[in-house]
A and B are shown apart, each in its own frame.
Chain A
C-alpha cells in the first residue's frame, strides 16, 4: 500500500515533469490499445507523433488546429484560475463563427481587405455575448455556470443548424445546408503562399503575450487569481467577485469567439453544420495540460493538434477510427490529473495497508 504525504512546498520540478509523465503514460496505454487491436503500435505512433511534424507543410497544417486551441485555452485558463467552470467554449466558438460569418456574407467584390478586421471583431463580440449570458445568469440568479454554459453549447449548435438550413442557406447550393462561400476579400490573410497557415498564428502568439501580462503583471489579473484560490481572502482584500466573474467569462468568451471567426473566415470560408469541431472541449484539456499558463498552453496545444492530425491520418491509413483522438485526449487529461498529485504530495510506500 502507498500513502500520500503532503510536501512542505509544492515541487516545481514535478509541476513541469507531470505533463511529460502523463504523456508517456498516455502513449503507453495507446501502445497497449493498438496491440490489443492487432495494429502495429510503432506505425500508429508514427502517425500520431512523427507525420504531423514531418515538414513545413505539415507544420503549417498543424498551426490550423493549434491556433483555435491556443486562443480558447488561454481564455479558459483565466476562468479556471478564477475558479469559474466555463465548459461551454464550444458554444461561444460557434457564436463567434456565426457573427463573423454574418459580416463576411455582407462583403462583395468591391469590399476592401479592411473587412477582415470587422470579421474578427464580430467574432469576439459574438463569443462574448454568448458568455455574457452565462455571466448574467450566474451573477443575477446564481445559476451554476457549468450547466448553463454547457446547455448553451447545444442551443448554439441548434442556432447554427437553423441558420444554415434556413435563412442563411445558399440559394445556389443545391439545397446543401451551407451558406454562400464568403467573398475572397474576407479570407484571413495567409502567411506563406501555398500553405493554409494564416494570420491566426501571430494573433495567437500576441494573445499568449497579452494573457501572460494580464495574469502576472496586472492588478486585475492578480485579483482574479486570488478570488479563485482563496475567495475569503479576496473578499477581505476587497476584490470584487462579480467583477472577476464578468472579466473571466467575457474574456474567455471573446477568445473563443475570435477562434470561431478565424475558423469561419479561414479554413472553412463558409458556414456549415460542421463548424463545431470539438475545439471548445479539447481546449479544456489543453488548458490543464498547459498548467493554466500561457506558455505551457502553446506546447500543449501543439501536442493536442498532433492528436487531431494523427486521428485524421489514422482514419485514412492504418484503418483506425477518428474517434481515437478523443480517447487519447481523455486519457491524457486523466493521467495528467493523476500525476499532478505528485506536485503537492510525495508517495510513501508502506508495508501496512
Chain B
C-alpha cells in the first residue's frame, strides 16, 4: 500500500513538469500560435535555472531565471512569427534546435555540479495521514501551484473578459482586429506567458525534480507537452489530467523496472512515447471533434492590412 502511495506521489510530481509546460502552450495555442520550440525553451530554462540554483542557492531565484529565460526565447520566437510572419512550424523547430545546442554549450560547466539536499515540504497534520499523506501532502509547492494554475487558467479563459479576447484572437484574428483589439500584441503577450511557463517547467525539472543538469535532459517532454494540448482538446483541466496520466506512465516504467519485470528496459523507456502516439491516435480519430475544439486560426499568420 505504501508503495502505491509513493507511486502516486511520484506521478503527481512527474506530471507537474508536463502540466506547467502544457498549460503554457495552451495559452499560446488559444491565441493561435503553435510553438514547436517548447523542447528548446525548456532546455535553456533548465540550465538557466540550474545554474542560478548552483550559484545563489535559491530555488525561487532559479524559477525566476528559468521563467525569464523561457520568456526571452519566446520573445525572439514571437517577434519572428508575429511581426515578420515567418512560418510558425519552421521557426519553432529552429528554436528547438538552437535551444538544445545552446543549453548543451552553456551547460558543460555544470554537468558535474550537484545541488544540496532538496528541502522537504510537509503540510502539517495532513502529511501524517496514512496513505494520502505521503501521496498527496508531501509535495513540492510547485505541484500545488500547477493545480492552482489550472484553475486560474480555466477561470481566465472562460470567465474573464481578457480571456474572451484571447480566445477571440485565436478563433478569428480578423474579427478581433476589426473590433479594435491589438491582435499582434495580444499574441505576443500569450507567447511570452507561454514561454515563461515552459521555462518554469524546465527549471522545476532541473532544480527540483531531477535535480541535476544533463544535456538534452527534457528527453521529449516539450514535445509530449505539445501533444497534451491536443489530447486535452485545449481545455486546462484535461491538460492537467493528461499530464498526470503521462507522469504515471513514466513512473510506472521505473516502478516496473524496480519490480524486476522481465521486459527489456528499452521497451519501458519507449513507453511514454508509444503511449503519446496511441493517445494521439485515439483522440484524433474523429476529425470533427478536433475541429470543433481547436482554435480556428491555429498556426496561421495574421498581418493587419492597410
Q: Which range contains the number of A residues in contact with the other chain?
A: 35 or more
Please list 13 pairs of residues, one from A and one from B, whose beta carbons are closer than 8 Å in the complex, sorted by A's number: A142-B286, A147-B277, A151-B223, A151-B273, A154-B273, A155-B270, A161-B266, A166-B264, A323-B104, A323-B215, A329-B97, A329-B101, A330-B99
**B281 at the A/B interface (Cβ < 8 Å)?**
yes
**Measured between alpha carbons, how far is A337 from B100 in the docked complex, in Å?**
19
**B257 at the A/B interface (Cβ < 8 Å)?**
no
Best-buried of B36, B76, B80, B270 by chain A (most CB within 10 Å): B270
The answer, among A158, A331, A337, A345, for a CB contact under 8 Å with B269, is: A158
**Measured between alpha carbons, how far is A288 from B86 in the docked complex, in Å?**
12
Q: Is the CB of A144 within 8 A of B230?
A: yes
Q: Is the CB of A150 within 8 A of B220?
A: yes
Q: Which residues does chain A contribute within 8 Å of B80, judged by CB atoms?
A: 334, 337-338
Please give the distance in Å from A271's CB to the nearest CB on chain B: 14
**CB-contacts of B96-127 with A (<8 A):** 97-102, 104-105, 108
Q: Which residues does chain A contribute within 8 Å of B280, judged by CB atoms?
A: 137, 143-144, 147-148
Please give the distance in Å from B287's CB to the nearest CB on chain A: 5
**B55 at the A/B interface (Cβ < 8 Å)?**
no
Pick from B21-29, B87-95, B236-244 the stretch touching chain A: B87-95
| Chain A residue nearest in CB terms to B99 | A330
1/0 contact string of A135-156 vs chain B (CB within 8 Å): 0010001111011101110110
**Measured between alpha carbons, how far is A326 from B264 in the docked complex, in Å?**
32
List residues of chain A with CB under 8 Å of any chain B CB: 4, 85, 87, 137, 141-144, 146-148, 150-152, 154-155, 158-159, 161-162, 165-166, 281-282, 284-285, 288, 321, 323-331, 333-334, 337-338, 340-341, 345
List residues of chain B with CB under 8 Å of any chain A CB: 36, 40, 76, 80, 83-87, 89-91, 93-95, 97-102, 104-105, 108, 215, 219-220, 223, 226-227, 230, 264, 266-267, 269-270, 273-274, 276-277, 280-281, 284-287, 290, 303
Q: Which residues does chain B contribute within 8 Å of A85, judged by CB atoms?
A: 89
Q: Which residues does chain B contribute within 8 Å of A325, judged by CB atoms?
A: 101
Instruction: Tell me whether A327 and B273 are in contact in the complex, defined as CB-CB below 8 angstroms, given that A144-B230, A337-B86 are known contacts.
Output: no
**Measured between alpha carbons, how far is A219 from B220 in the docked complex, in Å?**
39
Instruction: Tell me whether A337 and B266 are in contact in the complex, defined as CB-CB below 8 angstroms, given that A143-B284, A326-B100, A326-B102 are known contacts.
Output: no
Q: Which residues does chain A contribute within 8 Å of B270, judged by CB atoms?
A: 154-155, 158-159
Instruction: Tell me whether A326 and B101 are in contact in the complex, defined as CB-CB below 8 angstroms, given that A141-B281, A151-B220, A154-B273 are known contacts.
Output: yes
**Measured between alpha carbons, how far is A166 from B91 in the docked complex, in Å?**
39
Instruction: Tell me whether A155 and B274 are in contact in the complex, defined as CB-CB below 8 angstroms, given that A323-B105, A330-B98 are known contacts.
Output: yes
The answer, among B95, B100, B267, B277, for a CB contact under 8 Å with A148, is: B277
Please give the distance in Å from B248's CB to the nearest CB on chain A: 18
Q: Is the CB of A321 within 8 A of B108?
A: yes
Best-buried of B76, B84, B220 by chain A (most CB within 10 Å): B84
Q: Is the CB of A327 within 8 A of B102?
A: yes
Q: Is the CB of B108 within 8 A of A323?
A: yes
Best-buried of B83, B101, B284, B290 by chain A (most CB within 10 Å): B101
Q: Is the CB of B36 within 8 A of A146?
A: yes
Q: Which residues does chain A contribute within 8 Å of B85, judged by CB atoms?
A: 4, 341, 345
Q: Is the CB of A331 within 8 A of B98?
A: yes
**Measured between alpha carbons, how far is A315 from B290 in the docked complex, in Å?**
48
Q: Is the CB of B90 within 8 A of A337?
A: yes
The answer, among B84, B89, B99, B223, for a CB contact under 8 Å with A341, is: B84
The answer, among B76, B105, B219, B281, for a CB contact under 8 Å with A334, is: B76
| Chain A residue nearest in CB terms to B230 | A144
Please give the distance in Å from B226's CB to the nearest CB on chain A: 7
Q: Which residues does chain A contribute within 8 Å of B104, judged by CB atoms?
A: 321, 323, 326
Q: Which residues does chain B contribute within 8 Å of A337, judged by CB atoms?
A: 80, 84, 86-87, 90-91, 94
Q: Which residues does chain B contribute within 8 Å of A284, judged by CB atoms?
A: 93, 97
**Measured between alpha carbons, how far is A143 from B108 in the docked complex, in Å?**
37
| Chain A residue nearest in CB terms to B39 | A150
Q: Is the CB of A87 within 8 A of B267?
A: no
Q: Is the CB of B227 within 8 A of A147?
A: yes
**Measured between alpha carbons, how far is A330 from B94 in the docked complex, in Å?**
5
Q: Is the CB of A143 within 8 A of B281?
A: yes
Q: Which residues does chain B contribute within 8 Å of A137, judged by CB atoms?
A: 277, 280-281
| Chain B residue nearest in CB terms to A161 | B266
**Measured between alpha carbons, how far is A146 from B230 in the docked complex, in Å?**
12
**Measured between alpha carbons, how far is A85 from B219 in the docked complex, in Å?**
20
The answer, among B94, B105, B269, for a CB contact under 8 Å with A285, is: B94
